[in-house]
Structure 1
């Protein structure tokens, strides 16, 4: 059911998708679907909650490692890309994020997204304090820039296209790190 919902949300967009569309996608009647789920919002939360928490856990693991800040940042950015590959449904977190704030069941996802940003910010701040990163840049803006680059991959990435997600992640990490080094 979740796989079918993910496909419908990707194809139709969350706003236009209906539970009836999900029922058709998974090959059951609408009444049967309502036995398992009451709203499409519940499906969206069920799809992205665990992958979102996994992404934050991976970023936190990078922060808590004994590596220098530039390696921590590289690890966090590589983990982001690996999580996109492993959990393609997480793309819905980025493409449908404007709906999440209005879904009461998604409050933990919204809080988690904030925790991810704060974790990434802590890595950047460690790099500035240790002298690995430039000290003339606003760490919050750096964090937002990194998230902007990565959270919008879903808007233009073409599977099987010119570059793999891993190649894109490597280029993005190289750009970020070269821009942050003194």
Structure 2
């Protein structure tokens, strides 16, 4: 019985991993159940034994990605006091997840607009909002203690997330620069701004 349950979990995990790759390559609408089943090497009835439909698979991916990213970000900023450094740690954690889980990340960033109002969708949105609050909390603390300056926290939160999320459009894991290094560069630019500084004499 234990072996059977383990095999079921393994098959379910394989379905999620291959589905993430199909979604990343072809988009949610472009990836079919038949494509996913073929990629896993199982029949459609076997796939339907584990998931009711394509949407349920996607929600599983999205919630898994957001949960992992949140846990990773929390661990990265734990015990770090200065808000600017916490921001850097958060951004590196975000980019690091992309670097190590490219297909899952891209699939998880497809969005939820086309999904039905289900408990799974609500859970995914709840996790997404929690991740945003984690970032906005860092920015709010920096604004309060004077270590960061911004017009408003909400806009700053969206700007940081937009900058990081757009990396999935062009980042290449086999390229010369690691995703976390891009995150460092982004953070430097955000903290320093684009305007030239007067030389200190």
| Correspondent of 2:139 among 113, 124, 145 | 124
- Structure 2 gaps, min length 5: 1-14, 195-201
1:121, 1:140 within 8 Å by CA — same for their partners in 2? yes
1:98 aligns with 2:99: no
Deviation at 1:33, TM superposition (A): 1.6
Structure-2 change in CA distance of 1:103 and 1:8 (3 Å): farther
> Which whole-Å CA distance do the structure 1 matches of 2:181 and 2:112 have between them?
25
Aligned length: 179
> Which whole-Å CA distance do the structure 2 matches of 1:167 and 1:61 have between them?
19
1:101, 1:110 within 8 Å by CA — same for their partners in 2? no
Correspondence for 1:114: 129
Structure-2 change in CA distance of 1:49 and 1:73 (3 Å): same
Q: Supply the RMSD in Å over aligned alpha carbons.
A: 2.2
> Which whole-Å CA distance do the structure 1 matches of 2:22 and 2:179 have between them?
23
Structure-2 change in CA distance of 1:61 and 1:159 (3 Å): closer
| Correspondent of 2:28 among 14, 21, 28 | 14
> Which whole-Å CA distance do the structure 2 matches of 1:8 and 1:60 have between them?
29
2:28 partner SS: coil
Deviation at 1:138, TM superposition (A): 1.2
Q: TM-score, normalised by structure 1?
A: 0.87
1:3 aligns with 2:14: no
Correspondence for 2:88: 74
Deviation at 1:115, TM superposition (A): 1.2
**Larger Rg computed on CA atoms:** 2
Alignment of 1:23-102 (within 5 A): 23-61=37-75, 65-88=79-102, 89-100=104-115, 102=117
